[in-house]
Structure 1
Amino acid sequence: MASSGRDRGRIRNAILIAGPTASGKSALAMQLAEKHDGVIVNADSMQVYSVLRILTARPSDAETAGVPHRLYGHVHPGDVYSTGVWLRDVNDLVEDGVFEGHRPIFVGGTGLYFTALTMGLSEMPDVPSDIRERWRWRLNEQGSARLHDILLRLDSAAAIGLRASDGQRIVRALEVLEASGKSILFWQKQRSEPLVDFTTADAVVVEPDRQWVIDRIEARFDAMMTQGAVEEVQSLLALRLRPEVPAMKAIGVPEITAALSGNITFEEAKVLAKAATRQYSKRQSTWFRNQFGPEWRRIRPG
């Protein structure tokens, strides 16, 4: 059933905290959870993966022992975890009564998770693994521009809305078209009901000063390197995962992998990873600024 707005949802009185990486949103979630007897639910697409606790800045064991945390580190890094799967996992929390007597606090930097939570999710068809693997192989072999040309020929309306460099979304459009015989634009219009009742929610976007967050990014990655980030990447590499899975592209993993291979020094890896984190933070801030309307309060750290 299609949603007509943000006026329905099974989860009431939720606190939604969105923001770029290193903005202090997790600390805010902890403060509010302690104040409101809350349950913190992860809304970050990288913090779902096991193994990568340090590099994805997942909450520490001490933090999770003091306040209930859900949907952190529960996915094998070899799996591809989608927004739809995350939304089903949230629904399972509702079904299991996790929020009964506790205030739900969703915190993270993945904008699509919040959009799905508050506005519903487009119902997508199941894509057989052979179709998915074939298109991903073609992406690696032929590049995104070539696949964009193919999509232009097969589904021009979907292709026009995508950059030729956006390989993941191009592949998604192609595999959905082949699996269902219908454009991904058709499926995107089939939106489910939202889980969160937005009329009762307190939704905030953390908007830190740019230089403040850059300083935190620099200091945090230095700390990660001393806390076991290298060993974490070694454990990940030992799993011999496909290079295209999202966990292998987490910031810090390609850079540290290159250092372990001797292609660059560890100091160079740190410089590259910090630069990638700064760029990612900027993209997140831009997304939240453009996609979240005035119903989201903007706050500064502190």
Structure 2
Amino acid sequence: MFDPSAGNTPIVVITGPTAGGKTALALALADRFPCQLISVDSSLVYRQMNIGTAKPDAQLLRRYPHSLVDIRDIKHAYSAGHFVTDARAAIAAARAANKIPVLVGGTLLYLRALFQGLATMPPANAQLRLEIESEAASQGWGAIYAELHRVDPVAASRIAPADRQRIQRALEVYRLSGKRISDWQKDSQPAPVQRLPLKLILVPRERQILHARIAQRSLQMVEAGLIEEVVALRQQEQIDELPAMRAVGYRQVIDYLCGRIDRSALVERITIATR
């Protein structure tokens, strides 16, 4: 099926929702073919985030090396632009080693940037982000999402109501420039990776099955020490406002530690945000 030495090796992409079985399929491919696994996950890049990201343990990573895992300190933000640069290098290295590049993960923004190109947008504005977060604290994220739907319905249709990070960024771009983020995205640069991927999208036949898996995974993370992981990170430095801490699971634990939600609601909040 795949012959890396033939010169026509595809880029394999395994993606889909959380708890859909992406990692298991990637490992199965690596057992059968000469593959280089390349992570497409905006949280796995961070070295200090392990439990809440469901990061494979050290033994598994030694057996199945993943590019773009544990490459960043949480103090340093990682963007889609960074990913494109790093993924291109990892793909080139895989091909140079006569391996099949297998991109595995669910950060769709990264995949879009890699295969469709990046739009040049206004840079992040810390003050404006704080303003949006303050509005969300007083009005609720539902009101912020409704505002986005009002000013940019195209972008809102692509962003889940629970995806606070992308909602915030879309509104930030609009308020900074007066131009909708969906219009900025239409002006994307040519795709840096021209070859179309072989895309495998994993979605359980019944949504209830997926939701049950997500709920179980959320519970297992808390039982495995997610709260303790976040507490340890907070003892080392101020992390609550870092971009890395917007990741699902970490954000909810911080809300719990700050007294904004009860322990009894924590697993449910993580589950809802993951869906």
- TM band (smaller chain): 0.7 to 0.9
CA contact (8 A) 2:129 2:168 kept: no
Aligned-pair CA distance for 1:247: 2.2
Q: 1:138 to 1:216 in 2, by over 3 A?
A: closer
* Count of residues in correspondence between the two structures: 252
CA contact (8 A) 1:123 1:192 kept: no
Provide the residue aligned with 2:85 in structure 1.
88
Q: Is the counterpart of residue 203 in structure 1 residue 204 in structure 2? A: no
SS of alignment partner, residue 26 of structure 1 = helix
Q: 1:173 to 1:202 in 2, by over 3 A?
A: same
Aligned-pair CA distance for 1:28: 0.5
Structure 1 residue aligned with 2:133, among 129, 140, 148? 140
CA contact (8 A) 2:43 2:244 kept: yes
Query: Which blocks of at least 5 consecutive residues in structure 2 are unaligned?
Result: 1-6, 162-166
TM-score (norm 1): 0.70
Q: 1:226 to 1:36 in 2, by over 3 A?
A: same
Aligned-pair CA distance for 1:93: 2.2
- Aligned pairs for 1:150-229 within 5 A: 159=152, 161-163=154-156, 166-175=167-176, 177=177, 185=183, 188-195=186-193, 197-198=195-196, 201-208=197-204, 209-229=206-226
Q: 1:60 to 1:134 in 2, by over 3 A?
A: same
Aligned-pair CA distance for 1:189: 1.4
Distance 2:211 2:188 in 1: 40
Query: Which blocks of at least 5 consecutive residues in structure 1 are unaligned?
Result: 1-9, 281-302
Provide the residue aligned with 1:44 in structure 2.
41
Q: 1:196 to 1:53 in 2, by over 3 A?
A: farther
Q: Percent identity?
A: 26
Structure 2 residue aligned with 1:231, among 213, 228, 233? 228
Moved more, 44-53 or 61-70: 44-53
Aligned-pair CA distance for 1:114: 1.9
TM-score (norm 2): 0.76
Deviations 1:177-221 (A, max 9, x none): 39xxx87635741422341511xx421110113222222222222
Aligned-pair CA distance for 1:262: 5.3
Q: 1:75 to 1:188 in 2, by over 3 A?
A: farther
Deviations 1:73-123 (A, max 9, x none): 32222333221221111123245x2432111110111222222222x3134
- Aligned pairs for 1:54-133 within 5 A: 54-94=51-91, 97-100=93-96, 101-118=98-115, 120-124=116-120, 127=123, 132-133=125-126
CA contact (8 A) 2:10 2:100 kept: yes
Greater RCO (CA < 8 Å, at least 6 residues apart): 1
Aligned-pair CA distance for 1:20: 0.2
Q: 1:169 to 1:241 in 2, by over 3 A?
A: same
Distance 1:254 1:126 in 2: 25
Distance 2:256 2:58 in 1: 28
Alpha carbon RMSD of aligned pairs, Å? 3.4
Q: Is the counterpart of residue 20 in structure 1 residue 17 in structure 2? A: yes
Aligned-pair CA distance for 1:39: 1.0
Distance 2:22 2:220 in 1: 18
CA contact (8 A) 2:52 2:249 kept: yes
Provide the residue aligned with 1:3 in structure 2.
none
Distance 1:173 1:242 in 2: 25
Distance 1:190 1:225 in 2: 39
Runs of 4+ deviating beyond 6 Å: none
Read off the aligned partner of 2:254 and give its amino acid letter.
T
Aligned-pair CA distance for 1:265: 4.5
CA contact (8 A) 2:132 2:168 kept: yes
- Aligned pairs for 1:263-302 within 5 A: 264-277=261-274, 280=275
Provide the residue aligned with 2:164 in structure 1.
none
Deviations 1:246-296 (A, max 9, x none): 32222222333344445654333123222322xx3xxxxxxxxxxxxxxxx
